[in-house]
A and B are shown apart, each in its own frame.
Chain A
Amino acid sequence: MWLCIKVCPTNVFDRTETGLPLIARQEDCQTCFICEVYCPVDALYVSPYADIKQQVTEQELVSVGIIGSWREIIGWGRGRTRLAEIDETPFIDRILPPQGTISS
């Protein structure tokens, strides 16, 4: 059950003959990070760079703790707290710095 193939809004992945997902159309990736949120085994890393290809190794990503981090922040996966439950958005204007007036 390879969720990335199913959920990618721009259909970046193909299913290979062995059934494994393959990044077949990286140029169609819109860098929305949603495949990472759905991946239950943290097997994906979406580079933040929209227009250039970033060379990374799994080891590097694991060592800096970035792989799987977005799913962890969203709070999906066993034993985690969903971001929606601790969402601070309704309260952020309480710490808003004074805003300037718009001049022409």
Chain B
Amino acid sequence: MHANDELKLTADVLVIGGGPAGAWAAWSAASQGAKVILVDKGFLGSSGATAPGGTNLLYLPPDEKLRNEAVSQRMKEGGYLSEPDWIHRVLDQVYINLERVETWGYPFRRDENGVPMRDHLQGPEYMKLMRSAVSRAGVRIMDQSPALELLTDEHGVGGARGISRQKNRDWEVRAQSVVIATGGCAFLSKGLGCNVLTGEGLLMAAELGAELSGMEFSRQYAPSAAFGTVTRGRLLNWATYYDEDGNTLYSPGGPRPHDFLPTMLRKGPVYATLNHADTEEKQRILRQSHAIFFVPYDRAGIDPFKERFPLTLRYEGTVRGTGGIRITGEDCATTVPGLYAAGDAATRERVTGAKSGGGAFNASWAICSGTWAGEGAAKHALSTRSSANGRRLQAAGRGGMSRESAGPGQSLDTASLIQSVQREVFPLDINYFRSEPVIQKSLERLNALWPEVYAEVSGDSRERIKAREAAAMAATARWMYTAVLARRETRGMHTLLEYPNLNSSLQHRLTVSGIDRIQVYPEGKPHAQVNHELLEAAQYHVHTASRENESREPDRWMAAAAGEGEGA
């Protein structure tokens, strides 16, 4: 990195990411008495999938019967990859935290009996409130300061380095614990608020040997206006759908074909009208709920209650998928000592299983996992009784970070790499209607692209950040498709055309690890016999694999993780 008057700081806990999970992690760690720094690529308050619009929450009053029903339903829908204890933990914790949000000043509506309705939050209001709470807790917030790489030594993680992009200044924060709360990876598909979610957190963690889980559960697309970015689908429950000629494709109450929107969009343009909100009162109610839904139509001069508007589907990657960094315990620890994961950066499978955590589950998971990770990170840091300053830490970033020229014309073409990755993950024909040979070919192309990330990165802060995002997206796509090929069945949101049924021998979570060479294995069984033909197809040894940092093998921290319970 440049020695451009680098900012050097020390804390007990570094939180990377300023969406809901990062905010809760920072608040929670600070509440434990830790000195906390939070860095965000954008701004704590506006960054991420939650802030611009709003979010539903998994929230139930402490009624045993209601909660047990919700848990059994989720276990079934999630293909039995979730855990009842974890769903109950979330229901318990989110109840406490939302009461807290109310005492901080969030004006939850009440029903006719005066019971607060705490199952929805308006994004700007919620995240403004979280920023205040984090600030009041004494956390130092660094906005517009993306982390690029973690620091590490033989004891585990020890901080991170990045860029304060508006000051064009590098920073280094040393900390005994780091919480990754960078969100999922949505591949710059322009879903609402999602273009900051490009997967660097996953790559940074994997570079230290952290494992990922549930990456195959990444088949979620969201509807938006064809010309716009507001990926909000709930109000389409009031819509009639039409084809280009105005023929009705679906109207509420009628039979709705499986895979309706993806199937129809494959054939041609699809339009909708919210004509089932057929009174002024109903229209007022909808406008006062998911208000952001209407912004594109109002600006385009379309009355969505009367006129047809064109729809598209935007890919949501792991944001509304369920996969992410594998967590090993109730404190959201990872296999790397000192490293914790929260929110969409972590796997949500223990709570959502194989089904999308879209909306409600992910939002409550962000609140709870943030709280637990922050507490775990603080306890870890405070128990070491020493500062990270004395450690001999090295920066671990590799892909998209090379400052050395490999020869003329060998610098990284970031925009081209990003487009190449998007061509593999956006198309419905590859990533929604998944089939083994198509995913196989796509993974081969992604693997062939991968060595490009080691080309020289030249240019300003923006280019350095984009190069790292490009590398993270390329890595994430490869993890996803490697896991897809290892799950030869249909379960939850995951499908493979050739395997339309549930396979009971695959009722376990799948772990992927590694960067140049990706391994996939049943959770907790890194040395288990798995399908070798598939493994060979998934693994890819690039010519750069002998680089000095390649010694960061996934097994490196296994000893540290071995003592912790496996939940599979």
Contact = CB atoms under 8 A, between A and B. Distances in A.
B120 A48 contact: no
Q: Which 5 A-B pairs have the closest CB atoms?
A: A9-B42, A90-B117, A48-B296, A30-B195, A89-B120
Interface string A61-104: 00000100110011010000011111111111001111111111
Interface string B268-307: 0000000011000010111011111001111110000000
Interface string B106-128: 11110100000101111011100
B386 to A, nearest CB: 35
Given A9-B196, A90-B117, A103 B286 contact: no
A7 interface: yes
A44 interface: no
B148 to A, nearest CB: 15
Given A50-B228, A87-B288, A33 B122 contact: no
* A5, A8, A69, A87: most-surrounded residue (chain B CB, <10 A): A87
24 contacts: A7-B42, A7-B46, A9-B41, A15-B166, A30-B194, A48-B295, A48-B297, A50-B190, A50-B228, A51-B227, A52-B227, A66-B298, A74-B291, A84-B107, A84-B125, A88-B288, A89-B54, A89-B56, A89-B289, A90-B117, A91-B109, A91-B117, A102-B255, A104-B257
Contact of A70 (B120, B227, B256, B295): B295
Nearest to A35: B46
Interface stretch (B28-36, B246-254, B316-324, B560-568): B246-254
Interface in B163-207: 165-166, 190, 192-196
A83 B229 contact: no
Contact of A33 (B106, B252, B295): B295
A73 B291 contact: yes
A101 B255 contact: yes
B86 interface: no
Contacts of B234: 92
- Chain A interface main SS type: loop
A11 B145 CA distance: 11
B458 interface: no
Contacts of A34: 46, 51-52, 124, 193
A26 interface: no
Nearest to B192: A32
Interface string A12-40: 00010000000001001011111001100
A32 B300 CA distance: 15
Interface residues of B, number: 68
Nearest to B300: A48
Which has the most chain A C-beta neighbours within 10 Å: B111, B124, B225, B277? B124
B257 A103 contact: yes
A15 B45 CA distance: 20
B143 interface: yes
A30 B190 contact: yes
Contact of B119 (A9, A10, A90): A90
Interface of A: 5-11, 15, 25, 28, 30-34, 37-38, 47-52, 66, 69-70, 73-74, 76, 82-92, 95-104
A15 B166 CA distance: 9
A28 B469 CA distance: 13
A11 B290 contact: no
Contacts of B162: none
Contacts of A48: 225, 227-228, 295-297, 299-300
Contact of B462 (A9, A25, A84): A25
A5 B144 CA distance: 10
B48 interface: yes
Contacts of A70: 295
Contact of A97 (B111, B193, B252): B252
B103 to A, nearest CB: 15
Contacts of A87: 109, 120, 122, 288-289
Contacts of A76: 124
